[in-house]
Amino acid sequence: MNKKRENFIVEKKINRRSFIKSTLIAGATILIAGFPNVLRAQKDVNIGVIYPTSGVIAMTGRTMTRGVELACEEVNQAGGIKSLGGAKLVPIFADSEGKPEVGMAAAEKLIQQGVSCLFGCYQSAVTFATTQIAERYKTPHVVPFATADQITERGFKYTFRIIPPASKCAKDQTDFIMYMAEKTGVRPKTAAFIYENTLFGQTSSNYQKTEAQKAGLKIVEDISYPSDVQDLTSEISKLKARKPDVVYRTCYLNDAILVTKTMYELKFHCMCQMGIAGETLFRYIDGLGKLANYVFATEMWNARMNVPGAAETNLRFKKKYGVEMDQQAAGTYAAIFKLKEALEKAGSSDRETLRNGLSKLEIGPGEKGNIMPYGAKFDERGQNTIGFFPIAQIQDEMLQPVHPERIANRKPIWPAPKPF
């Protein structure tokens, strides 16, 4: 990361006295009133980026930093922030290690170093903590991912979350399940829940239970486990005994793979499995092969979505990094372009002015580098009010957008056939 940041253009500051002197010798006439603009053009916009680049979900953290890197490079190559005289975006990366206390320390250090804003942190527990630091120091904090509703329910003025909250995710998941029931006539009657027991899993599963009950599904099992779990035989055995029609899953990558493998080993099958995070990563499919097929998941982005710029950005990402872009990289990439538009509106990298720029931001899908299927417009809590959760299904060992139809690439397969 350090080597990459060294490649950003860093222009030399102009000494005012030597500038005037050399220009007078050359016989030029200096317009002193224009000089501050020259200085302003030399100032970079430093962004404090916090992601887990070590620890259990380090690979996910690194793919998100790649999205940030690519977006900053493209903004800078296109002339930087025009309203700031072409100022460059410079990401300064910090590792949260997936720990709230480490994330908080990183946030405070970055703010003291003078960043214009914070950016991150993926895990809800970490983001809940870093946004507290940002609020204390009156520093804007852009949140591309982290779904716990509590993050934007504390009356904070400096938090701006682009992804919709867990409550919206649970509603969109359940609405899709009932839509498929209505469309096919194959109706689920029971539901079970399995989730990792951090803030992310607990919050998501609570809202899923509420929405499932509203839809008339009977809850037959509720299972939580440590996020670093190594064996789920007992948990999946309980699940199998209850025979649910639908299983809501809230997992990160490693535990998502373990859940699926254990289900296969114990020959557990149901009508629908609905994931939210780990199931959307390419490494989930790589780790499971055909066993991953037919799992549904809320997927915020996919290169095959019918969204302007999605396919082209994926090609640039693949050329640079040698792998396909996933939703995590796409989300951070698009968030940098949203931040760019806020800076253009603000006309300043000052924290308070930038906060005001973010509060007035309004951008649609496919506009100005926003490759997500939804736009961004923040309410007084700093929550994006126009986001939603598209649904994808793994078919032929590939994530395929299936809902809503306007962005879909495939039709959903319902109910899921047995993998054994």
CA dihedral 255, 257, 263, 269 (to 10 degrees): 110
Mean pLDDT to the nearest integer, 331-355: 97
Whether residue 21 is predicted with pLDDT greater than 60 in this model: the reply is: no
Give backbone dihedrals phi and psi of 95, rounded to 5 degrees, phi first. Answer: -100, 120
Task: Mark 164-203 as b/e (b = at least 16 C-beta within 10 Å).
Answer: bbbbbbbbbbbbbbbebbeeeeeebebbbbbbbebbbbbb
What pLDDT is recorded for position 251? 95
- Whether residue 20 is predicted with pLDDT greater than 60 in this model: the reply is no
Tell me, what's the pLDDT at 368?
A: 94
Q: Which residue has the higher pLDDT, 201 or 42?
A: 201
Residues of the chain with CATH 3.40.50.2300: 2-163+306-377, 167-299+390-407
pLDDT tens-place string over residues 99-117: 999 999 999 999 999 999 9
Tell me what pLDDT residue 199 has: 87
Single pTM value for the model: 0.81
pLDDT digits (tens, 9 = 90+) for 129-144: 999 999 999 999 999 9
Name the CATH topology of 167-299+390-407. Rossmann fold (3.40.50)
Lowest mean pLDDT among 2-6, 200-204, 361-365, 400-404: 2-6
For residue 26, pLDDT over 80 is answered with no
Q: Is residue 11 over pLDDT 80? A: no
Residue pLDDT, tens place only, 247-257: 999 999 999 99
Evaluate if residue 4 carries a pLDDT over 50: no
Domain spanning 2-163+306-377 has what CATH number? 3.40.50.2300
Q: Rounded distance, CA 388 to CA 164, Å?
A: 6
Residue 43's pLDDT is 84
Residues 6+ apart with CB under 8 A from 332: 64, 65, 67, 68, 71, 119, 144, 145
Residues 69-91, mean pLDDT to the nearest whole number: 97
Looking at per-residue confidence, does 10 or 166 come out higher? 166
The more confident residue out of 376 and 39 is 376
**Residue 70: predicted pLDDT:** 98
State residue 419's pLDDT score: 76
pLDDT at 261 over 50: yes
pLDDT single digits (tens) 264-302: 999 999 999 999 989 988 899 999 999 999 999 999 999
